[in-house]
Amino acid sequence: MLSNASRYLTYLAAALYAVLGVWLVLQPAQIAPVFAWTVSPFVTMTIGGWCLGNAMNAFITARRWSWALVSGSLVYFWSFGLLELAVVFAFKDKLVLAHPSAWLYMAALVVNVLAAVLGIREVLRTKPASQLKAATRNQTMLVAGFVAFVGFLGLYGLFASQGAVGTGGGIFPEILSPFTLRSFGAFYLSIALGTVPLALYRNFTATLHYGFAMYGFIAFITLITLLNLGLFDFAAKPGGLLYLGAYVLVGLLTLDLLRREGTAAAG
């Protein structure tokens, strides 16, 4: 069992991300010019989608709070906080903390990282049980493939230079600043890292929990993308179909899996 201190911080982070996410999604045009760094309204809404997904994941994970069940979603959550704070530190000269939304973003990341530090220390100290219902070989291979694909996207976003393939508006419909590009990379790499324990432990129950707890990201970001569909020019830049299509495809496959196998609520 993990420590209650990390659990309470996870609940607190969920609340902070929820407030920030709603704010960014509902007022993107107002927040974009005064956010922590230079972003467009669409990027503002997308970051809001991350925050709402984090809120859902953190709340569900804190409620269930058994390492064997929530290992994947916790590794994602811890990785997100650590990597995004590292990105902020790397671009600290571009950081502007003049608006409450920027301070709220930083507060959420700091609480996220504190939860990660305490949680990682507890896992290393106690080495909690990691197995529930074992996954089949095919299920494990699918998870491993997901790790490889999303991990590649994350590493590419973290290390690709501006002007590289996919960074000039060919997939995401806007040209992203280096700060934003690295933040996207940290987000995708965190998702991939969250699936690593699922593949290593071959834990199918934890995989169901991961799909359920993380489904908010798929739902919110897909909805935000559809609301901004006018920004895409699929005829001139068909790569935009990859961005939207990936979320739709993963969303449908995950929804079908959860429908057939359940959400691991009794895990």
- Give domain status of residue 153, yes or no: yes
Cα separation, 242 vs 121, whole angstroms: 38
Question: What's the CA angle centered on 181, arms 177 and 182, to 5 degrees?
Answer: 120
Domain that holds residue 64: 4-261
pLDDT band at 147 (very low <50, low <70, confident <90, very high): low
Percentage of the residues of the chain whose pLDDT score is greater than 90: 57
Number of folded domains that form the chain: 1
For residue 165, what pLDDT is reported?
57
- Give domain status of residue 201, yes or no: yes
For residue 243, what pLDDT is reported?
85
- Give domain status of residue 266, yes or no: no
Contacts of residue 151, Cβ cutoff 8 Å, sequence gap at least 6: 188, 189, 192, 193
- Give domain status of residue 19, yes or no: yes
- Give domain status of residue 100, yes or no: yes
- Give domain status of residue 78, yes or no: yes
- Give domain status of residue 143, yes or no: yes
Q: Please state whether 130 falls in left (phi above 0), alpha (psi between -120 and 50) or beta.
A: alpha
Q: Which amino acid is at 119?
A: G
User: In this structure, what token pair is assigned to residue 133?
Assistant: 């219902």
Could you give the count of Cα atoms lying within 13 Å of 193 in the half-sphere of its Cβ?
A: 18
Cα separation, 24 vs 236, whole angstroms: 29
- Give domain status of residue 8, yes or no: yes
User: Each residue of 246-266: pLDDT tens digit?
Assistant: 888 888 888 988 898 898 875
Cα separation, 103 vs 35, whole angstroms: 9
| Residue pair 61/74 in contact by the 8 Å Cβ criterion | yes
Cα separation, 206 vs 110, whole angstroms: 26
Contacts of residue 93, Cβ cutoff 8 Å, sequence gap at least 6: none
User: In this structure, what token pair is assigned to residue 126?
Assistant: 């106690």
pLDDT band at 154 (very low <50, low <70, confident <90, very high): very low
User: Each residue of 162-211: pLDDT tens digit?
Assistant: 666 555 667 788 888 899 989 998 998 999 899 888 888 778 888 899 99
User: Each residue of 22-65: pLDDT tens digit?
Assistant: 999 999 999 999 999 999 999 999 999 999 999 999 999 999 99
For residue 156, what pLDDT is reported?
53
